[in-house]
């Protein structure tokens, strides 16, 4: 990093009154501040930093801060005051001590602060971010008046130096307001460096905000007038009067205006992958309008909206940046995303939020699951599912994929096994804007391990001994026509057999029934294509999505994207049956034969059909198939109690 700043470095250690939070600062030697503690870093001949033995640092994620000891907004203000009181010198980088328990090969994350300039804007995120990133935060001293252009050069030198040292490692620039403008300007000047931008509420300040500031009223009156102008400003901005001198706030607001002008003039040159985070209640900047403009302007840009959040998005306790990054598939440790090695399992709290938000599906359908043991015995529950991977689950895709949520969540809860779904690319990319749902609609699927269908991803998941979920019928099966319930639409050729055999994966055929008890297709694809309005919509939707199986013939090749018109019913019950696992271990050579592979393919398909037939027959004997008797049972025994079903 010495090359990044153009000078050698030393470090000072700050110990706020809270006594539970320490920083190590990387400071240019040109600064006039004298370190009060032993140096935390030494500089090697190649200009890289090495930590001195005197500095303690977490190296085990098990030492992560307990939930009840997480830092809060109050800590942010207290620690900001401590940093400002001991402040001085030019802008420089520091790394929070609690960000030390990172994964091997973690990418570098440079945090570029907002209008406060302190660099603690990610303080509520430090613990989790520090497990997967090497984090440096930019600190701009309160009395510093470095122009925006010079800040761009400072960050640019750091980016170039770190890229030179680790050219295969991406560099994340996380910025808010002024910091977001800073990130855009740096990215525009360095299009050949692998940068990933995460920008929270980038924008130009309201004219009336600038007009109020330029009146040069006393600071309290300035804040008061701003509050009257835009309603109730967030506590973040109101408290700046207690943290920053009036002159500094005026300087920062003026710099924000020049920063916006600079970054806007360079947008055409930004090539970096970008994630915009826009707050719906940002009373300081027009964040949603600006975020949408950037999304349309930048070539590799996605947006996530937080309609109930204010300007200081990262300082809100219910905003988790790691979860956002994971859901958007924005975490990678090399130039290209590896869906196997870059994937991180949902934490218990992440899974709980996902599960609870979809809990109504389980409550409405009371899923029942059966599996088959190695000796062929059918049992209620999931005991027959193999614990060790690789395992390939192959099954029937119910209408609109209704079976997915109970299937994945129940296996996770009861067996601690995550199914990595092979999904349609439309969940990961759109060819153009239009009628398809925003990519954010599929964040939950990505969080739970879904990957776009490809031979490469198949290979990597099997190589990592994952439990993989595949629907050979794909979209054609999930968007079936009237009268096609429980009919399989599989390709003629065996697409997965030889890949499974290459890794000795067990194949678990399964069936799921119940869609006909929750809805009835009223207008299907054929009906909709007869209506000009819907026919045009189907053409537009299909044109937006990546097309699959373009070289395949038959019904499975019909990948028209549409939404059938469905008449809801009082919900019946969902049933799942996992057949006996089929071994491919030791059959690699045998199944290289197309004929032998096709024979096993037909066998798997036949087993799926048998699973469906078994469930359709048995559910007729379930006294609680309808919702009314289930509600009566749950009212008597509790809504978390398991409702009985048919006898085996």
DSSP string computed for 542-611: HHHSPP--TT--SGGG-------EEEE-S----EEEE-PPBP-TT-TTGGGSHHHHHHHHHHHHHHHHHH
- Res 27: pLDDT: 34
pLDDT tens digits for 340-369? Answer: 999 999 999 999 999 999 999 999 999 999
DSSP E strands, 155-203: 171-176, 195-200
Do residues 121 and 114 lie in contact, with contact meaning Cβ atoms separated by under 8 Å? yes
Torsion angle of alpha carbons 23, 21, 117, 332, nearest 10°?
Answer: 80
CB atoms < 10 A from the CB of 520, how many? 15
- Res 493: pLDDT: 83
DSSP 286: -
Whether the pLDDT of residue 221 is over 70: the answer is: no
- Res 63: pLDDT: 38
Distance between CA atoms of residues 547 and 426, nearest Å: 9
CB atoms < 10 A from the CB of 319, how many? 18
Class of the CATH domain delimited by 76-323: alpha beta
User: In sequence order, what are the beta bridge partners of 136?
Assistant: 110
DSSP string covering 203-267: -PPPHHHHHHHHT---HHHHHHHHHHHHSS--HHHHTHHHHS-HHHHHHHHHHHHHHHHHHHHHG
For residue 27, give the nearest of 123, 163, 129, 119 by alpha carbon: 119
User: In sequence order, what are the beta bridge partners of 223?
Assistant: none
Tokens of 53: 């033995």
DSSP 168: T
Whether the pLDDT of residue 171 is over 90: the answer is: yes
DSSP string covering 303-364: EEEETT--S-GGGSTT--HHHHHHHTT---SSSS--TTTS--PPPHHHHHHHHHHTHHHHHH
Q: 3-state DSSP: the chain helix, strand, coil percent, rounded to 5?
A: 40, 15, 45
What values do phi and psi take at 55, rounded to 5? Answer: -95, 125
Mean pLDDT across 80-109:
82
Mean pLDDT across 46-62:
29
Cα 522 from chain centroid?
Answer: 36
Tokens of 42: 């030494």
Query: How does the average pLDDT of the chain come out, rounded?
Result: 83
- Res 241: pLDDT: 61
Whether the pLDDT of residue 266 is over 80: the answer is: yes
Distance between CA atoms of residues 72 and 19, nearest Å: 14
DSSP string covering 374-422: TTS-EEESSTTS-SSS-EEEEE---GGGTTHHHHHHHHHHHH---EEEE
Mean pLDDT across 449-464:
95
Q: 626 vs 243, which has greater pLDDT?
A: 626
Instruction: Give residue for tokens 């600079």.
Output: 262
CB atoms < 10 A from the CB of 375, how many? 7
Whether the pLDDT of residue 555 is over 60: the answer is: yes
Q: Is 215 exposed, middle or buried (0-12, 13-18, 19+ CB in 10 A)?
A: exposed
Residue boundaries of the structural domains of the chain: 76-323, 367-515+571-637
Lowest mean pLDDT among 30-39, 145-154, 295-304, 631-640: 30-39
pLDDT tens digits for 423-433? Answer: 999 999 988 88
Contacts of 347 (CB under 8 A, 6+ apart): none
- How does strand 41-43 pair with strand 23-28? unpaired
Q: 340 vs 115, which has greater pLDDT?
A: 340
Task: Answer left, alpha or beta for residue 329, where phi above 0 means left and psi between -120 and 50 means alpha.
Answer: left
Calculate ∠ Cα 155-71-36, nearest 5°: 60
Q: 248 vs 368, which has greater pLDDT?
A: 368
Q: 17 vs 306, which has greater pLDDT?
A: 306
Omega cis (within 30) before 390: yes
Lowest mean pLDDT among 252-256, 325-329, 540-544: 252-256
Tokens of 109: 């994350």
Contacts of 195 (CB under 8 A, 6+ apart): 159, 170, 171, 172, 173, 186, 187, 272, 273
Whether the pLDDT of residue 372 is over 90: the answer is: yes
User: In sequence order, what are the beta bridge partners of 243?
Assistant: none
pLDDT tens digits for 274-317? Answer: 999 999 887 777 788 888 999 999 999 999 999 988 878 898 88
Lowest mean pLDDT among 261-265, 451-455, 528-532: 261-265
DSSP E strands, 161-218: 171-176, 195-200
In this prediction, residue 242 has a pLDDT band, given cuts at 50, 70 and 90, of: low
Q: What's the topology of domain 367-515+571-637? A: Glycerol-3-phosphate (1)-acyltransferase (3.40.1130)
Whether the pLDDT of residue 20 is over 60: the answer is: no
In this prediction, residue 329 has a pLDDT band, given cuts at 50, 70 and 90, of: very high
Whether the pLDDT of residue 387 is over 60: the answer is: yes
Q: 29 vs 331, which has greater pLDDT?
A: 331
**Most confident residue range from 8-12, 35-39, 548-552:** 548-552
- Res 550: pLDDT: 66
pLDDT tens digits for 174-185? Answer: 999 889 999 999
Whether the pLDDT of residue 36 is over 80: the answer is: no
Q: 80 vs 620, which has greater pLDDT?
A: 620
Share of the chain above pLDDT 70, in %: 81
């Amino acid at each position: 990093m010495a090359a990044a700043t153009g000078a050698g470095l030393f470090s000072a250690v700050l110990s706020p009154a809270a006594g539970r939070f320490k920083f190590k600062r990387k400071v240019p030697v040109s600064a006039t501040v004298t370190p009060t503690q032993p140096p935390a870093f030494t500089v090697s001949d190649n200009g890289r930093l090495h930590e001195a033995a005197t500095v303690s640092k977490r190296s085990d994620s098990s030492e992560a801060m307990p939930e009840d000891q997480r830092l809060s907004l109050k800590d942010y203000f207290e620690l900001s005051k401590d940093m400002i009181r001991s402040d001085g010198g030019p802008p420089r980088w520091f790394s929070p001590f609690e960000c030390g328990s990172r994964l091997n090969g973690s990418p570098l994350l440079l945090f570029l602060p907002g209008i406060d300039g302190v660099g603690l804007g990610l303080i509520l995120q430090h613990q989790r971010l520090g497990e997967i990133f090497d984090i440096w935060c930019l600190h701009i001293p309160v009395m510093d008046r470095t122009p925006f252009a010079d800040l761009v050069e400072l960050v640019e030198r750091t980016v170039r130096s770190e890229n030179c040292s680790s050219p295969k490692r991406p560099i994340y620039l996380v910025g808010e307001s002024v910091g977001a403008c800073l990130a855009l300007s740096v990215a525009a000047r360095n299009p050949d460096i692998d940068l990933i931008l995460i920008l929270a509420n980038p924008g130009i300040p309201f004219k009336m905000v600038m007009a109020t500031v330029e009146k040069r009223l006393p600071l309290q009156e300035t804040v008061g007038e701003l509050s009257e102008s835009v309603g109730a400003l967030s506590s973040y901005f109101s408290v700046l009067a207690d943290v920053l001198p009036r002159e500094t706030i005026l300087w920062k607001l003026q710099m924000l205006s020049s920063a916006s002008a600079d970054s806007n003039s360079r947008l055409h040159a930004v090539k970096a992958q970008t994630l915009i985070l826009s707050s719906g209640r940002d009373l300081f900047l027009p964040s949603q309008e600006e975020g949408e403009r950037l999304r349309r302007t930048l070539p590799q840009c996605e947006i996530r909206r937080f309609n109930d959040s204010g300007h200081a998005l990262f300082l809100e306790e219910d905003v988790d940046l790691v979860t956002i990054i994971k859901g958007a598939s924005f975490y990678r440790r090399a130039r290209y995303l590896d869906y196997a090695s870059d994937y991180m399992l949902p934490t218990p709290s992440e899974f709980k939020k996902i599960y609870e938000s979809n809990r109504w599906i389980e409550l409405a359908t009371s899923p029942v699951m059966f599996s088959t043991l190695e000796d062929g015995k059918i049992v209620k529950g999931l005991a027959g599912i193999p614990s060790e991977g690789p395992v390939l689950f192959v099954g029937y895709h119910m209408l609109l994929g209704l079976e997915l949520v109970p299937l994945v969540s129940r296996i996770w809860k009861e067996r601690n096994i995550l199914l990595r779904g092979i999904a349609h690319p439309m969940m990961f990319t759109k060819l153009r804007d239009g009628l398809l749902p925003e990519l954010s609609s599929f964040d939950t699927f990505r969080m739970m391990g879904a990957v776009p269908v490809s031979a490469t991803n198949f290979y990597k998941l099997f190589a990592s001994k994952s439990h993989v979920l595949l629907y050979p019928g794909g979209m054609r099966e999930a968007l079936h026509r009237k009268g096609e319930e429980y009919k399989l639409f599989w390709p003629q050729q065996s697409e997965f057999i030889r890949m499974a055999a290459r890794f000795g994966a067990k194949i678990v055929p399964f069936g799921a029934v119940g869609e006909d008890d929750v809805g009835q297709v009223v207008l299907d694809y054929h009906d909709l294509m007869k209506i000009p309005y819907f026919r045009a919509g189907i053409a537009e939707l299909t044109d937006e999505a990546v097309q699959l199986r373009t070289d395949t013939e038959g019904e499975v090749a019909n990948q028209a994207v549409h939404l059938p018109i469905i008449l809801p019913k009082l919900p019946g019950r969902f049933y799942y049956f996992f057949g006996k696992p089929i071994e491919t271990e030791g059959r690699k050579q045998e199944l290289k034969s197309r004929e032998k592979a096709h024979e096993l393919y037909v066998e798997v398909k036949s087993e799926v059909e048998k699973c469906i037939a078994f469930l359709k027959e048995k559910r007729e004997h379930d006294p609680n198939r309808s919702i009314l008797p289930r509600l009566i049972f749950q009212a008597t025994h509790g809504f978390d109690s398991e409702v009985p079903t048919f006898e085996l």
